[in-house]
Chain A
Amino acid sequence: LAKTTQPISMDSYEGQEVNITCSHNNIATNDYITWYQQFPSQGPRFIIQGYKTKVTNEVASLFIPADRKSSTLSLPRVSLSDTAVYYCLVGADFGNEKLTFGTGTRLTIIP
């Protein structure tokens, strides 16, 4: 899996949009970008996956520039319940690959 770099922590106020950027300079042609969310004492939860441009689901949006060397997870109007660690992973076969979790970004939502 391509190595990823994320900010270690971020703070945001409730109701704001939060953007977490992930760098993956060595991403390969066949690689997808996947984001997971983890609450304390829980397993990671799949949020979103994309290959290029923009992907949106009911939880978040994922923006991927043309060169795909970075990606941005966008959480609209965050609430206190969005406080968690967010992991960015890059790989070609998420079902079968051994996932390597980096440090992740610890997002804290402030009331």
Chain B
Amino acid sequence: GAVVSQHPSWVICKSGTSVKIECRSLDFQATTMFWYRQFPKQSLMLMATSNEGSKATYEQGVEKDKFLINHASLTLSTLTVTSAHPEDSSFYICSARDQGQGTDTQYFGPGTRLTVL
């Protein structure tokens, strides 16, 4: 199946700093990628939809100036958490749309655990 990677797998940062998380589709091109956040014992919550070459679409309640998304190529989307605070500590997961070989579904990355001190 299609493979999606994320980097880093975990990161610890100080409050007020910015953190960049990368999402890559390794063996397919993805015009659309999605970013989710998951708190402990809770389900995934969609944050934004990232389309290659255009601005991301954010879900209601998600601050676009705080969670910067860039989808500059067909295989890479980045999420930057700006001025991170402890309440931003969470598990961030991306997914990428695979439209190849008669399929059209989303494959998920392994996630990035962010801890803000």
Chain A interface residues (CB < 8 Å from chain B): 34, 36, 41-46, 49, 87, 93-96, 98-104
Contact = CB atoms under 8 A, between A and B. Distances in A.
Contacts, number: 59
Contacts of B32: 95-96
Contacts of B8: none
Given A95-B98, A98-B46, A46 B105 contact: yes
Given A43-B94, A95-B97, 12 more contacts: A36-B108, A42-B110, A43-B95, A43-B109, A44-B44, A46-B107, A93-B104, A95-B99, A96-B104, A98-B49, A98-B59, A99-B95
Contact of A103 (B34, B43, B98): B43
Given A41-B111, A103-B43, A104-B43, A34 B105 contact: yes
Interface of B is mostly: strand
Of all A-B residue pairs in the complex, the 5 with the closest CB atoms, nearest first, are A43-B108, A95-B104, A101-B44, A95-B97, A101-B43
Contacts of B111: 41-43
A95 B111 CA distance: 19
Contacts of A45: 108
